Amino acid sequence: MDWLIDPQLREEDLAAAASPPLSSVLHLHGAQLPHQSAASAAPPSPTRTSTVRRLSSSSSSPSGTSTVSPVKKADGPRKTPKNRSPVKNEAAASQASQLEPTKRLSKPDDLSVAVSISAFQSPADFHIQLKEKESDLKKLMEQLKVYEAAAPIQRDWKVGEYCAAKSAEDGRWFRARLCYVGDDGVCEVQMVDYGFLEVLPLSALQTLKKKHVSHECFAERCHLADLLPAGSTDRTKWSQTGIEFVVKQLKGKELFVKLEGETVEGFGLPVDLLIEETIPETPFDPPRHEYMSLKQMLLEKGLALPARRGKSVSSPTTVSQPKADPFRTKVVMVAVSASEEDEEKVGEQHGIVNNMVAIFQPDLHVAPHPAPVSTVLILVPVYVDHDGTIYAHDITEEESNSAFFERIDHYVRTEAPEGHLEVKIGQICLAHFAVDNVWYRARVLEVEPEAVKVKYIDFGNSAVVLRSQLKLATPELCRTPQLAYQLVLHNMKPDTDDGTWPITFLDYIHSQVVNFRCTVEIKGSTSSVPLEVDLLLSDGRNLSVTLMSMGVAVPKNDMEEFYQRSADITSILQHSNPYFPLSLGKADSLKYVLVTHIELPNLVYLQRSPPDPNETMSEDELRDLATERENLNEFVQLMDDLNNLPPQTPALGEVPASGEMCSAKYSADNRWYRGLVAKAYPATKTALIFYVDYGNSEVVPLQRLRVLPARFQDTPAQAVRAYLNVGLPEGRKRWTLDDFTAMADTIYLMRHAALIKNTDPLTVELYSEVPHSDSATLSYQQLINSGTILQAAGRPFQSLAPPVSLLCYVTVDKPLSHLRVTRIGLRLVCPARDRRIVSVETHLCDSLSFA
């Protein structure tokens, strides 16, 4: 399937590029632009490997747009960064509102060059590569394949040394620098040509050959200059909202970097990123490019504040020369060993201790997240587990979560006993997470002599950690319930033979939800764990509908939601349908139809289909054929007109009420269709929309709804609701998903001859050929033969036992002396039940005058 993005990083797709000294490049390039625009690699939503995001190049997505491929996980634990829920700072927003609009430049700054981003953590920590050196990097990566045939070596590796390292994620070899070396055969390295980190066994390292040290490091660490995140004086503590905004702005765009000062220790180069926007051609102007400052955009949005300029930062009108050439960091075969003081510092950062006093972890329990008060929540997913469980944080709990993590950090630094922690499978302890150098609560999954596999219970991800990276958990720290909700998609399962989620499916779900605000509606009990939910993505799409449309997930064998959806639509069609109905014909008449939707195995929607013009027809049938073709052409033109409305067509300011007309953008093809609001959900700003011309329905967010202009309102609804003249087998009370699937495979989107058995309610039999002919059989005869359904005899609906009375009402369109009656409605009212049973409306062709 098209959407299954190849998760392997391929060398021909690499968007990274090595570079000479950045200061040299800035002065050599001037304002020269590339002759051809090539999409630069941009930060995606975080991968499941590291807070320092490792980026692959663009691949084809289902919609035809450029997306970033997820990184395939090799055997072993996956790592997920800690999440911070987005918080908007009112003071920052107020200050931002006084800033000038983003300046659009006709060309990038004279001192800027084209770059791509190879690793991204936040605006304060990302790595860039110069795009002009892409071919050099490709050649180097090809040369590094020589290590694939090398036998494992044993040597005394030191922190700070350079080496060749085999990635555990894709099996490729990279040049790397050792950041940490453990006593148990595990190390942490940084891939110096890309910037991302990995934890590897020492057996995955090789000594670099002399010919592979001639190139400087191809990636340079940078940060956005002179900015502080809104609401914080710590330049590293960016909100998730700010990070998401930057990722969205950079994705799929050509980028240019502008150097704004000297290297800052611990943060790298201070820069600004200029984003290229392509302005399409107009009747009056040729196509052109404009460039926007990412720093200015963050300030305007209130996501950042200007920082006071320090001594290391130059004036805004000049570019200082760095004291050291940033891209001239050389790779050496055997680096000078780090000092004992530096090694001790690295050991402290990673929880390394020499005291081997045994400490035994007592059995403790952490309760699940408390049941939510509301059935609608705004959450930020942080991880997607192997079984499809989604772990998510409530954005309203961001402050309390941060305070709790600070409590853990303070305990580890000042109170936690030092020694060798003895743990058993299932116990709760504190475990270090190497990617962000933070301690979290974790449950022990596996125990080995030198390492332990744990699951971080407040995030859901797992990792293998050294025993020295465990700390004693206390009853006080375990009294706080789990910080993450556990979610599963309601009535949804993967479309696989074994019922498990393949890694490619999980990576796609991860890319759509993790670190993005999502709206969830709880469908079952609020106290169940995990919660069964419908999940709306940050762009308003329903995740379950999206997965089903891709063919990767199917509903479970449970028709509860189908019955509920049918009841909601039945109610609105009977009581509040403003669209004119289309008559299929009289009883015992025959019409050719197309089945456009199946609501239940015995309830379908039909569109009139012209008969075969090659068939022998009477004059009346020929006239009917001409009329139907004309009506069909008019309807097709109507749909085209609806999708060609000007952009200024009025949008809806709030969710429309049930029974209102509207136009809605269908999620499967992003086209506009006539809709009827079957149910409104103001809390989530969504509505259940019934597409009146086809019969299908879906929950649609407010931003995908708009006013239906008057000229589209009078055309009758093209989908005719009809019951099939079938029934359930003996002993069965409800249809199953298997019944639904069998009927869909038999009749959906196929042309049939419909014999009308009754008109109230409309009941039909569908035939493959004209009934009563020698070759005619029911279209679903095989389901009758197999016992899946029963053919009903005569009228399948019982008559009403209580007496009914007939009421009449008229609807007029002009409150003047001459009134034109446009509709007459007949309502059957049952006095014994005090409710309306059915409505029948008829349109009048002639005008009636009243004195």
What does the pLDDT look like over 419-464, one tens digit per residue? 889 999 999 999 999 888 899 999 999 998 889 999 999 999 999 9
- Residue 816, pLDDT above cutoff 70: no
In this prediction, residues 357-380 reach a mean pLDDT of: 91
- How would residue 103 be classed by pLDDT, with cut points 50, 70 and 90? very low
Name residue 548's amino acid.
M
- How would residue 330 be classed by pLDDT, with cut points 50, 70 and 90? very low
Beta-carbon contacts of 303 under 8 Å, excluding residues fewer than 6 positions away, are: 92, 96, 229, 230, 239, 241, 242, 245
pLDDT of residue 311: 37
Give the closest residue to 90 by CA, choosing from 308, 305, 378, 400. Answer: 305
Q: Is the peptide bond before 815 cis (omega within 30 degrees of 0)?
A: no
Give 364: exposed, middle or buried? Use CB within 10 Å, 0-12, 13-18, 19+: middle
What does the pLDDT look like over 483-507, one tens digit per residue? 999 999 988 889 888 888 988 889 9
Q: How many CB atoms lie within 10 A of CB 485?
A: 25
In this prediction, residues 651-670 reach a mean pLDDT of: 92
In this prediction, residues 770-790 reach a mean pLDDT of: 85
Taking the C-alpha atoms of residue 743 and residue 740, their distance in angstroms, rounded to an integer, is 5
Rounded-to-10 torsion of CA 64, 69, 70, 74: 130
Taking the C-alpha atoms of residue 414 and residue 802, their distance in angstroms, rounded to an integer, is 80
What does the pLDDT look like over 558-597, one tens digit per residue? 688 888 899 999 999 999 999 999 999 999 998 899 999 9
pLDDT of residue 613: 66
What does the pLDDT look like over 685-715, one tens digit per residue? 899 999 999 999 999 999 999 999 999 999 9
Concatenated DSSP letters of 533-566: EEEE-TTS-BHHHHHHHHTSEEE-S--HHHHHHH
**Percent of the chain surpassing pLDDT 90:** 42
Asked whether the beta carbons of 141 and 171 are under 8 A apart, the reply is no
Among the ranges given (282-291, 542-551, 667-676), the one the predictor scored with the smallest mean pLDDT: 282-291
Q: Ramachandran region of residue 226, left (φ > 0), alpha (ψ -120 to 50) or beta?
A: left
pLDDT of residue 108: 54
Q: Which two tokens stand for residue 21?
A: 């000294």
Among the ranges given (701-710, 712-721, 822-831), the one the predictor scored with the smallest mean pLDDT: 822-831
pLDDT of residue 691: 98
Give 21: exposed, middle or buried? Use CB within 10 Å, 0-12, 13-18, 19+: middle
* Strand pairing category for 661-665 and 220-224: unpaired
Across the chain, mean pLDDT equals 76
**Distance linking the first and last C-alpha atoms of the chain:** 68
- How would residue 9 be classed by pLDDT, with cut points 50, 70 and 90? very low
What does the pLDDT look like over 143-184, one tens digit per residue? 999 999 888 888 889 898 999 999 988 889 999 999 999 888
Please state the pTM of the whole predicted model: 0.39
| Helices and strands in the chain: count of H runs, count of E runs | 14, 45
pLDDT of residue 83: 39
Asked whether the beta carbons of 466 and 424 are under 8 A apart, the reply is no
* Strand pairing category for 762-767 and 720-724: parallel
Give the closest residue to 596 by CA, choosing from 738, 727, 769, 722. Answer: 722
**E strand map for 642-797:** 661-665, 672-681, 686-691, 697-701, 705-706, 720-724, 726-727, 751-759, 762-767, 790-791
Taking the C-alpha atoms of residue 586 and residue 598, their distance in angstroms, rounded to an integer, is 22
pLDDT of residue 18: 32
- Residue 412, pLDDT above cutoff 70: yes
Taking the C-alpha atoms of residue 250 and residue 244, their distance in angstroms, rounded to an integer, is 10
Taking the C-alpha atoms of residue 351 and residue 353, their distance in angstroms, rounded to an integer, is 6
In this prediction, residues 496-521 reach a mean pLDDT of: 91
- Residue 404, pLDDT above cutoff 50: yes
Residues belonging to the chain = 851
pLDDT of residue 211: 84
Give 797: exposed, middle or buried? Use CB within 10 Å, 0-12, 13-18, 19+: exposed
- The secondary structure element, H or E, covering residue 272 is strand 269-279
Asked whether the beta carbons of 579 and 661 are under 8 A apart, the reply is yes
